[in-house]
A and B are shown apart, each in its own frame.
Chain A
Amino acid sequence: DIQMTQSPSSLSASVGDRVTITCRASQSISSYLNWYQQTPGKAPKLLIYAASSLQSGVPSRFSGSGSGTDFTLTISSLQPEDFATYYCQQSDSIPNTFGQGTKLEIK
């Protein structure tokens, strides 16, 4: 199985900050990397698919990059509603494993 490792596990930031979360796969997954946002008590929400494609309706302050084994999610200017937990997921092969999550908290 492909292991997905996110860093950091938690992050404190302020409204307006630029934030980057990284995700590393244990083997190459081409561009089959997705990012999800989850707030407490809610289902995950797709933000980015295929490493860099913005899901319809997602604000443009979210962006993704990378290929192979190393990927990043960037939020260009944090808004209050962005404080949540973020997960990466590889969809190159089954099982479609998730990273352990990055909790983004208000500083």
Chain B
Amino acid sequence: EVQLVESGGGLVQPGGSLRLSCAVSGFTFSNYEMNWVRQAPGKGLEWISYISGTGNTVHYADSVRGRFTISRDNARNSLYLQMNSLRVEDTAVYYCARRGTYRHYDYWGRGTLVTVSS
């Protein structure tokens, strides 16, 4: 069974940092591209970052570029999102999602809530 489990969310002050993790199981992690998607309270879905299977190619949304870093450890079956210089507007539930063969996001984690507030 494919599973994705996010962790690392919490309350942080503006300007602070957090590292999110996504532990996966049930598939060969290195064969799949991965993404982070977030959803602010009461709002829609926002794609924020992509990483290739090898980790050699990454992309970011303009809203997080230069502040967030996506990475992966294929030996540990884990995806990460290092978030620095956090802003109030980064408050959201953060989801990791697997990108399938037709570029669709076929499996999602349950999400982890990040709250940026003083």
Interface residues of A in 42-59 (CB under 8 A from B): 42-46, 49-50, 53, 55
User: B34-63 CB contact bits vs A (8 Å, 1 = yes)?
Assistant: 010100000011110010000000010100
B104 proximal to A (CB < 8 A): yes
Most buried by B among A38, A91, A101: A91
Contact among A32, A34, A42, A53 for B105, CB-based, below 8 A: A34
Interface residues of B in 65-118 (CB under 8 A from A): 95, 99-100, 102-106, 108-111
Task: Return chain A residues, CB-CB under 8 Å to B110.
Answer: 42-43
In the complex, what residue of chain B is closest to A6 when comparing beta carbons?
Answer: B44
Provide the bound-state CA to CA distance between A94 and B11, in Å. 30
Provide the bound-state CA to CA distance between A57 and B57, in Å. 32
A89 proximal to B (CB < 8 A): yes
Asked if B44 and A100 sit within 8 Å, CB to CB, the answer is yes
In the complex, what residue of chain A is closest to B108 when comparing beta carbons?
Answer: A43
Query: Chain B: interface secondary structure?
Result: strand
Asked if A34 and B59 sit within 8 Å, CB to CB, the answer is no
B23 CB to nearest A CB, Å: 15
Task: Return chain A residues, CB-CB under 8 Å to B99.
Answer: 91
Provide the bound-state CA to CA distance between A96 and B102, in Å. 13
Contact among B35, B44, B95, B104 for A101, CB-based, below 8 A: B44
User: A22-46 CB contact bits vs B (8 Å, 1 = yes)?
Assistant: 0000000000101010100011111
CB<8 Å pairs between A and B, sample of 24:
A34-B104, A43-B95, A43-B109, A43-B110, A44-B37, A46-B105, A46-B106, A49-B100, A49-B106, A50-B102, A50-B104, A55-B104, A55-B106, A89-B105, A91-B104, A94-B47, A95-B47, A96-B35, A96-B50, A96-B103, A96-B105, A98-B44, A98-B45, A101-B45
